[in-house]
């Protein structure tokens, strides 16, 4: 044990006898660690961004409907049937789930909007604006004007619809929608704002108004809604969260006349799910390439460094040290070097990751957002923390450093010291 | 992202529904009729340029609600018509103008006229099992279909012809075939059945309550039943009907659509 | 002493320290090979992405009437003489080889109705033969067949549309749209085949019909809303765009656009992807550079004796430095050549048919490859190849400067002492 402590001390002194070499090797290790972690974080961030971009604008991450609402979207199939439901208590029950962040109710109607000579077909979306802003960014994309106030017959419409109607903020539009009693609900509304999501289908088709106003226009009781949209704490685990939410809702309210249909975004937007899975596998290849290069760089530096020391090993052995002791010292050196370098690497990496995660550089000064696969993208590059990457990368680089040092040392001990000293 | 709400199947329309309704109001003399084409061409010809005015009750029953609308209807040939709701009070004054291929609605509550945009032409008209397009489709049976007499003889003790109407290869008609049954003695239609291409029944129109109005025999009642929802129906019942009421095209104007009468 | 002698000394020194030479070269070769591989892969993915997007859309280069992009309306169309001029200009392009194919389309928004239902749709009148080699839609066939020349009342529709209209192959349905004269006109067509792209907007909202059918239905003989041009690679876009614009420049009624203008969404997407790519390649390059630098630096520590021997043989300090620098140059040059060869062979040899990313998917989902093609075929851009090789050579050269400098400043007597 005491001799072991001695070898540790020898190894430690060795490291600093040639501080130059130690710094070079350490920098390689630390940077390799840094680059791998940041890159994993960046690719995770891009994928999280893809999921959130795809769900943030309208879809949300979990949607709840009456069991027979999808896919027909028949307007009579409200949650809780014809009688509707106690919306507030249902929302409370949903938000009680630990993985649900926010929930918001919605009502849909397919109708007409008309201004002057112009008439367009549109989708009317009734929302609770205070809740909606926590779940979707739709109302945050107001280009002009302000959110509609309840009871004031106000509506916000998309930018393309406004263009087609030739209507601006403050103008009156007639809203016509088939009501639940078979009549034609119609009333005069004022455009209080115009939104621009950048997604053509939404900017052209949607008109958003307070939930209660749409309910009265469609001759529906206040308890009648079509949809509850929620956001979850961990978007990539949505399917599991949706399943557990469904189970929780079933047990807390077995008296519901109809079962609720709880769907995660992976089912609502399967093409987005595919895109994310594909991006994941592409990121995997990128990370592997970077990782391979980092490992190779460390191994190479260690190999050359240790090979260059064969004369030194020969001298020590000529002085009577056994080969295994030499190897042991080199391994100890590697352990200490690796631990110090990786600790330093982590110390540098962590603040960068935290900073990058908190304040992702926004490229929107140079780039505008865009739509891809029906998904609205923000031009930001952000990083996400990964649980595995720091550990896996650390262990792999550590092991690489030790093996890459031990192998040439072991080789050196098999050459007679005299040959090594003679450079043969 | 874009959501479209499917027009319910039951609201799917027939191009010639209204035409058939109006044609049913005529009773051409049956004697000379020899072939299906001749019979139907005769109907077609007689319709042109005629004006009418009538009072109608439209009763609509769906899975979710039922209601009755009292309406007054003016028409000129197949090109023009104006429909004004008289009751219930909440909807009184609501009017629809069909002029050529355009449909306009007047909404008294907001005092506006609205032109139905092309995307909504397949939407339900007044919540009924007719679509806006039913009002408009200037479908000429004679131009769009080939006919043959599929059956001739007695059914339930009444001598009838049953015509089978097959759309011409290029005709912009969604049906696979239409069966149109007419009583032989007075040329009154009894029912029309609409089939898709696989021969499945989609919708049925049944005529009944044949009465003489303003000197002409007409089926005063028509029921439209979607085949996939037999519990649903739209029923039109004529209470009175006048012909040659002296309307010209100027009557079917936007200004007149707005006029509260 | 003559340069040749110094060169020979350098070469001999490399050979004597073969292990070190090989290890240092390995860092450069592997680094360069990886750079080439990842560059080719990301350029390939990029190119594929652009291509599938422009195939679904309006081509690498789109020719339209001026306001059509903004309004999408039929009144903003190319009439028959404009179409003829565009086609003539395309045929007369100086680099006609760059144009893979082109197609004229007559597009309009309308309604599709069947006995069962009615759905708003985008109707594209297409030239069946040209479109088949242009649009991806035809290759996403589910049932039936794509349009063929000689078709008249045929339509190729999305599976979701067919489902909602309750249509099978061969069934009739009616398209309704506003014609050029402003009337609402109906057109009967029959389902020739169905496609599934996975993009909801297309699967439930796109109908292809023969362009001649659309023209006679809408009353626009010979006209087109878009002439879409597909190029061999997106790299040719600007060149072809400006040549085409030049050939048509006196015509105010014709607007020539590159895909960046015609599809600003795609442009932004590609630019963002570029940013991600840049960052990745900067990181990769930094790691490669560090590996090379470290290999050289760490080996210089063990070479003091060698440098001393060189000077003891009569070389001046400067000459020693030159020999060491030449060693570095030789090694770098050899590694550069080898790296390009290895990178190229590795990429091309193993992945010339593409790397199937869907095979790497961890989840148990069934991947339909509808939105993006999971098989990425590497794409070698000569420019990128040169950039990668040069950056490695520059790093290698810069890295060789340091040992050379050390060697030239060495005190031989000190160096020959027993080293630590």
Domain-wise residue ranges, chain B:
9-255
Do A45 and A112 lie in one domain? The reply is no
Residue C131's H or E segment, with its range, is helix C128-132
CB atoms within 10 A of CB A279: 17
Question: How high is the mean pLDDT of chain A?
Answer: 85
Do A282 and A174 lie in one domain? The reply is no
Output the CA–CA distances (angstroms, integers) from residue B12 to B128, B143, C212, C266, in the order listed: 10, 22, 29, 39
Q: Which residue of A has its CA nearest to C289?
A: A297
Q: What CA–CA distance (Å, rounded) separates B260 from A367?
A: 55
Bridging pattern class, strands A154-158 and B95-99: unpaired
Q: What is the pLDDT of residues B70-104, one digit of tens each?
A: 999 998 887 888 999 998 988 899 999 988 878 89
**Which of A241, A264, A287 marks a domain boundary?**
A264
Q: What is the pLDDT of residues B137-149, one digit of tens each?
A: 655 667 788 888 8
Q: What CA–CA distance (Å, rounded) separates C179 from C74?
A: 8
pLDDT interval class at A1 (50, 70, 90): very low
Residue B149: helix, strand or coil by DSSP? strand
Residues 117-156 (C) with a CB less than 8 A from some CB of B: 117-120, 153
A288 touching C (Cβ < 8 Å): no
Q: Distance from C387 to chain B by nearest Cα, in Å?
A: 42
Is C265 a residue whose pLDDT tops 80? Answer: no
CA atoms within 13 A on the CB side of C376: 27
Q: What is the pLDDT of residues B201-210, one digit of tens each?
A: 999 999 999 9
Q: How many residues does chain A have?
A: 424
Let me know: does B211 contact B220? Beta carbons within 8 Å.
yes
pLDDT at C370: 54
- Residue A154 main-chain phi, psi, to 5 deg: -120, 150
Torsion over CA: A191, A196, A201, A204 (sign) = positive
C64 touching A (Cβ < 8 Å): no
pLDDT at B29: 42
The proportion of chain C whose per-residue pLDDT surpasses 70, expressed as a percent, equals: 94
Do A132 and A208 lie in one domain? The reply is yes
Q: Do A293 and C34 touch (CB under 8 A)?
A: yes
Cβ contacts of C7 within 8 Å, gap of 6 or more: C326, C330
Q: Do B173 and C117 touch (CB under 8 A)?
A: no
Q: Is C346 exposed, middle or buried (0-12, 13-18, 19+ CB in 10 A)?
A: middle
Q: Which residues of chain A lie closer than 8 angstroms to C26, CB-CB?
A: 296, 300
Q: Do A304 and C31 touch (CB under 8 A)?
A: no
Hey, which chains touch B, using 3+ CB pairs under 8 Å?
A, C
Q: What b/e string do you get for C278-309 counting C-beta neighbours within 10 Å, with b at 16 or more?
A: eebbebbbbbbbbbbbbbbbbbbbbbbebbbb
pLDDT at A218: 94
pLDDT at C362: 59
pLDDT interval class at B237 (50, 70, 90): very high
Q: What is the pLDDT of residues A365-413, one digit of tens each?
A: 666 655 555 555 666 778 888 878 888 889 988 998 888 888 888 887 7
Residue A118's H or E segment, with its range, is strand A118-127
Chain mean position to CA B67? 19
Q: Which residue of C has its CA nearest to A284?
A: C360
Q: What CA–CA distance (Å, rounded) separates A310 from C22?
A: 17
The mean per-residue pLDDT over the stretch A299-321 comes to: 82
The mean per-residue pLDDT over the stretch C310-324 comes to: 82
Q: Do C199 and A271 touch (CB under 8 A)?
A: yes
Do A277 and A384 lie in one domain? The reply is yes
Q: What is the pLDDT of residues A122-164, one digit of tens each?
A: 999 999 999 999 999 888 888 889 999 988 999 999 988 998 8
Question: How high is the mean pLDDT of chain C?
Answer: 85
pLDDT at B8: 30
Q: Bigger pLDDT: B17 or C376?
A: C376
Let me know: does B165 contact B180? Beta carbons within 8 Å.
yes
pLDDT interval class at B24 (50, 70, 90): very low
Do A247 and A314 lie in one domain? The reply is no
Question: How high is the mean pLDDT of chain B?
Answer: 79
pLDDT interval class at B3 (50, 70, 90): very low
Domain count for chain A, please give it.
2
Do A160 and A244 lie in one domain? The reply is yes
C11 touching A (Cβ < 8 Å): no
In 3D, which of C88, C105, C85 has the Cα closest to residue C262? C105
- Return the CATH fold of B9-255: outer membrane lipoprotein receptor (LolB), chain A (2.50.20)
Residues 30-69 (B) with a CB less than 8 A from some CB of C: none
DSSP-derived letter for residue A362 is B
In 3D, which of C39, C50, C98, C41 has the Cα closest to residue C386? C39
Cβ contacts of C395 within 8 Å, gap of 6 or more: C28, C288, C289, C292, C293
Q: What CA–CA distance (Å, rounded) separates A26 from A18?
A: 12
Q: Distance from C184 to chain B by nearest Cα, in Å?
A: 7
Do A259 and A302 lie in one domain? The reply is no
The mean per-residue pLDDT over the stretch B230-248 comes to: 90
pLDDT at C270: 79
Q: Which residue of C has its CA nearest to B171?
A: C188
C169 touching B (Cβ < 8 Å): no
**Which of A224, A245, A264 marks a domain boundary?**
A264
Range of the domain at A138: 60-264
Do A254 and A391 lie in one domain? The reply is no
Q: What CA–CA distance (Å, rounded) separates B197 from B211?
A: 35
Q: Which residue of C has its CA nearest to A32?
A: C287
Residue C112's H or E segment, with its range, is strand C99-113
DSSP labels for A227-296?
EEEEEES-GGGHHHHHHHHHHHHHHH-TT-SS-EEEEEHHHH-HHHHHHHHHHHHHHHHHHHHHHHHHHH
Q: Distance from A251 to chain C by nearest Cα, in Å?
A: 29
In 3D, which of C293, C289, C285, C306 has the Cα closest to residue C401? C293
CB atoms within 10 A of CB C180: 17
Output the CA–CA distances (angstroms, integers) from residue A400 to A29, A292, A302, A410, in the order listed: 10, 11, 9, 15
pLDDT at B33: 44
In 3D, which of C93, C68, C64 has the Cα closest to residue C78? C64
Locate A172 and state its tokens: 């009156």
Q: What is the pLDDT of residues A66-105, one digit of tens each?
A: 988 887 788 899 998 888 889 999 999 999 999 999 999 9
Q: Which residues of chain B lie closer than 8 angstroms to A121, CB-CB?
A: 117, 119-120
Q: Do C361 and A39 touch (CB under 8 A)?
A: no
Q: Is B256 exposed, middle or buried (0-12, 13-18, 19+ CB in 10 A)?
A: middle
Q: Which residues of chain B lie closer than 8 angstroms to C213, CB-CB?
A: none
Among B49-63, C76-90, C255-269, which is the least confidently predicted range?
Answer: C255-269
Q: Distance from C151 to chain A by nearest Cα, in Å?
A: 31
Q: What CA–CA distance (Å, rounded) separates C191 from C169?
A: 5
**Which of A201, A234, A264 marks a domain boundary?**
A264
- Residue C191 main-chain phi, psi, to 5 deg: -70, 120
Let me know: does A327 contact A409? Beta carbons within 8 Å.
yes
Residue A187's H or E segment, with its range, is strand A184-195
Locate A177 and state its tokens: 């929608």
Q: What is the pLDDT of residues C283-305, one digit of tens each?
A: 888 888 888 888 877 777 777 77
Q: What CA–CA distance (Å, rounded) separates C213 from C125?
A: 7
pLDDT at C92: 87
Mutate to test the interface with B, among A172, A176, A205, A270 (most CBs of B within 10 A): A176
Q: Which residue of C has its CA nearest to B228?
A: C116
DSSP labels for C330-362?
HHHHHHHHHHHHHHHHHHHHHHTT-EEGGGG--
In 3D, which of A29, A3, A2, A20 has the Cα closest to residue A336? A29
pLDDT at A372: 54
Do A252 and A157 lie in one domain? The reply is yes
The neighbouring-strand residues paired with C179 are none
Q: What CA–CA distance (Å, rounded) separates A145 from A147?
A: 7
Q: How many residues does chain C have?
A: 420
Q: How many residues does chain B have?
A: 261
The count of CB pairs under 8 A between chains A and B is 82
pLDDT interval class at C409 (50, 70, 90): confident
Q: Do C294 and A292 touch (CB under 8 A)?
A: no
Q: What CA–CA distance (Å, rounded) separates C68 from C79?
A: 13
Is B26 a residue whose pLDDT tops 70? Answer: no
Helix, strand counts (H, E) of chain A: 14, 12
The mean per-residue pLDDT over the stretch C397-416 comes to: 78
The mean per-residue pLDDT over the stretch C240-260 comes to: 88
Q: What is the pLDDT of residues C97-139, one digit of tens each?
A: 789 999 999 999 888 988 888 888 999 999 999 998 888 787 8
Locate A373 and state its tokens: 């696969």
The mean per-residue pLDDT over the stretch A229-253 comes to: 87
Q: Distance from B37 to chain C by nearest Cα, in Å?
A: 22
Do A14 and A27 lie in one domain? The reply is yes
Residues 356-385 (A) with a CB less than 8 A from some CB of C: 363, 367-374, 377, 379, 381
Output the CA–CA distances (angstroms, integers) from residue A326 to A300, A414, B53, B81, C303, in the order listed: 20, 11, 114, 106, 22
In 3D, which of C251, C209, C237, C286 has the Cα closest to residue C62? C237
Task: Supply the ipTM of this predicted assembly.
Answer: 0.78
Residue B139: helix, strand or coil by DSSP? coil
Residue A192's H or E segment, with its range, is strand A184-195
Q: Do C288 and A201 touch (CB under 8 A)?
A: no
- Residue C128 main-chain phi, psi, to 5 deg: -55, -45
Q: Bigger pLDDT: C300 or C391?
A: C391
pLDDT at B72: 94
Which residue among A31, A274, A368 places its CB closest to the CB of C370? A274
DSSP labels for C185-251?
EEEEEEEEEEE--S-HHHHTTEEEEEHHHHHHHHT-TT-BSEEEEEESSGGGHHHHHHHHHHHTTT-
Q: Which residue of B has its CA nearest to C204?
A: B4
Let me know: does A210 contact A151? Beta carbons within 8 Å.
yes
Torsion over CA: C88, C91, C93, C94 (sign) = negative
Q: Do C118 and B170 touch (CB under 8 A)?
A: no
Q: Do A289 and C365 touch (CB under 8 A)?
A: no
């Amino acid at each position: 044990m005491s001799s072991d402590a001695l070898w540790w001390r020898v190894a430690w002194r060795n490291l600093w006898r040639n501080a130059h070499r130690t710094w070079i090797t350490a920098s390689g290790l630390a940077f390799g660690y840094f680059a791998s972690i940041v890159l994993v974080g960046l690719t995770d961030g891009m994928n999280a961004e893809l999921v959130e971009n795809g769900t943030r604008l309208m879809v949300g991450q979990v949607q709840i409907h009456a069991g027979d609402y999808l896919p027909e979207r028949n307007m009579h199939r409200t949650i809780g049937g014809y009688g509707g439901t106690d919306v507030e208590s249902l929302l409370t029950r949903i938000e009680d789930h630990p993985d649900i962040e926010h929930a918001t109710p919605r009502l849909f109607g397919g109708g007409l909007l008309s201004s002057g000579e112009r008439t367009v077909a549109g989708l009317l979306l009734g929302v609770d604006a205070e809740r909606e802003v926590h779940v979707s960014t739709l109302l945050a994309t107001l280009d002009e004007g302000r959110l509609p106030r309840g009871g004031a017959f106000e509506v916000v419409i998309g930018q393309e619809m406004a263009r087609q109607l030739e209507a601006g903020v403050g103008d009156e539009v007639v809203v016509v929608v088939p009501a639940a009693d078979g009549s034609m609900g119609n009333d005069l509304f004022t455009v209080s704002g115009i939104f621009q999501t950048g997604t053509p289908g939404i900017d052209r088709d949607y008109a958003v108004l307070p939930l209660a106003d749409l309910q009265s226009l469609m001759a529906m009781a206040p308890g009648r809604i079509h949809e509850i949209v929620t956001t979850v704490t961990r978007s990539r685990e949505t399917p599991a969260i949706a399943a557990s939410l469904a189970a929780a809702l079933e047990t807390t309210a077995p008296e519901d006349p109809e079962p609720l249909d709880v769907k995660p975004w992976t089912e609502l937007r399967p093409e987005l799910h595919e895109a994310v899975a594909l991006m994941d596998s592409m990121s995997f290849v990128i990370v592997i390439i970077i990782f391979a290069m980092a490992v190779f760089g460390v191994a190479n530096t260690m190999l050359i460094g240790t090979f260059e020391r064969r004369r030194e090993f020969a001298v020590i052995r000529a002085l009577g040290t056994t080969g295994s002791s030499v190897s042991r010292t080199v391994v100890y050196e590697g352990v200490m070097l690796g631990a110090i370098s990786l600790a330093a690497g982590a110390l540098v990496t962590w603040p960068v990751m935290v900073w990058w995660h908190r304040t992702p550089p926004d490229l929107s000064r140079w780039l505008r957002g865009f739509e891809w696969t029906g998904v609205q993208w923000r031009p930001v590059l952000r990083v996400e923390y990964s649980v595995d990457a720091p550990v896996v990368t650390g262990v792999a680089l550590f092991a690489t450093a030790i093996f890459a040092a031990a192998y040439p040392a072991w080789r050196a001990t098999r050459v007679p010291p005299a040959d090594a000293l003679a450079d043969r | 992202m874009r959501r479209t709400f499917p027009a319910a199947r039951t609201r799917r329309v027939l191009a010639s529904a209204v035409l058939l309704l109006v044609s049913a109001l005529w009773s051409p003399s049956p004697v000379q009729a020899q072939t299906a084409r001749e019979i139907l061409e005769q109907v077609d010809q007689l319709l042109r340029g005629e004006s009418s005015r009538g009072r109608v009750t439209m009763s609509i029953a769906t899975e979710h609600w039922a209601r009755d609308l009292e309406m007054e209807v003016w028409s000129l040939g197949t090109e023009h018509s104006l429909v004004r709701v008289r009751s219930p009070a909440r909807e009184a004054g609501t009017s629809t103008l069909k002029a050529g291929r355009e449909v306009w609605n007047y909404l008294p509550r907001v005092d506006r006229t609205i032109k139905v945009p092309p995307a909504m032409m397949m939407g339900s008209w007044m919540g009924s099992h007719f679509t806006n397009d039913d009002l408009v489709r200037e479908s000429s049976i004679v131009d769009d279909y080939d006919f043959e007499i599929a059956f001739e003889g007695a059914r339930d003790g009444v001598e009838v012809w049953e015509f089978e109407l097959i759309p011409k290869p290029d005709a912009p008609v969604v049906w696979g075939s239409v069966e149109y049954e007419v009583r032989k003695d007075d040329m009154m239609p009894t029912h029309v059945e609409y089939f898709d291409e696989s021969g499945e029944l989609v919708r049925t129109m049944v005529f009944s309550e044949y009465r003489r109005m303003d000197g002409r025999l007409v089926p005063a009642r028509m029921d439209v039943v979607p085949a996939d929802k037999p519990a649903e129906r739209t029923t039109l019942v004529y209470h009175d009907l006048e012909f040659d009421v002296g309307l010209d095209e100027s009557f079917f104007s936007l200004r007149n659509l707005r006029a509260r009468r | 002493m003559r340069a040749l002698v110094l060169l020979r000394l350098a070469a001999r020194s490399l050979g004597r320290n073969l292990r070190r030479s090989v290890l240092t070269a390995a860092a450069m070769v592997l680094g360069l090979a990886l750079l080439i591989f990842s560059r080719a892969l990301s350029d390939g993915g990029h190119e594929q992405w652009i291509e599938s997007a422009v195939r679904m859309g309006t081509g690498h280069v789109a020719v339209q009437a001026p306001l059509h992009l903004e309004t999408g309306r039929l009144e903003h169309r190319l009439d028959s003489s404009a179409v003829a001029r565009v086609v003539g200009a395309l045929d007369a392009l100086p680099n006609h080889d760059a144009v893979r194919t082109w197609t004229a389309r007559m597009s309009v928004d309308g309604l599709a109705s069947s006995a069962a239902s009615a759905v708003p749709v985008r109707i594209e009148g297409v030239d069946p033969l040209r479109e088949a080699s242009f649009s991806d839609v035809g290759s996403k066939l589910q049932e039936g067949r794509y349009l063929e020349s000689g078709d008249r009342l045929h339509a190729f529709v999305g599976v979701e549309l067919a489902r909602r209209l309750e249509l099978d192959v061969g069934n009739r349905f009616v398209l309704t749209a506003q014609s050029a004269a402003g009337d609402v006109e109906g057109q009967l067509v029959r389902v020739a085949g169905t496609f599934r792209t996975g993009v909801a907007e297309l699967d439930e909202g796109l109908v292809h019909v023969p362009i001649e059918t659309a023209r006679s239905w809408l009353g626009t003989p010979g006209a087109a809303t878009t002439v879409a041009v597909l190029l061999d690679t997106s790299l040719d876009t600007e060149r072809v765009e400006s040549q085409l614009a030049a050939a048509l420049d006196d015509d105010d009624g014709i607007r020539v656009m590159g895909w960046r203008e015609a599809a600003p969404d795609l442009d932004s997407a590609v630019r963002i992807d570029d940013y991600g790519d840049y960052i990745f390649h900067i990181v990769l390059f930094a790691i490669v550079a560090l590996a090379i630098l470290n290999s050289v630096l760490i080996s210089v520590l063990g070479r003091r004796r060698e440098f001393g021997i060189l000077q003891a043989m009569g070389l001046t300090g400067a000459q020693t430095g030159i020999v060491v620098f030449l060693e570095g140059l030789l090694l770098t040059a050899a590694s550069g050549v080898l790296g390009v060869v290895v990178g190229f062979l590795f990429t091309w040899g193993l992945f010339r048919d593409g790397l199937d990313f869907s095979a790497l998917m961890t989840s148990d989902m069934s991947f339909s490859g509808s939105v993006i093609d999971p098989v990425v075929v590497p794409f070698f851009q000569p420019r990128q190849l040169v950039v990668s090789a040069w950056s490695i050579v520059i790093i290698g050269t810069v890295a060789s400067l340091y040992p050379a400098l050390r060697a030239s400043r060495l005190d031989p007597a000190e160096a020959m002492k027993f080293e630590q």
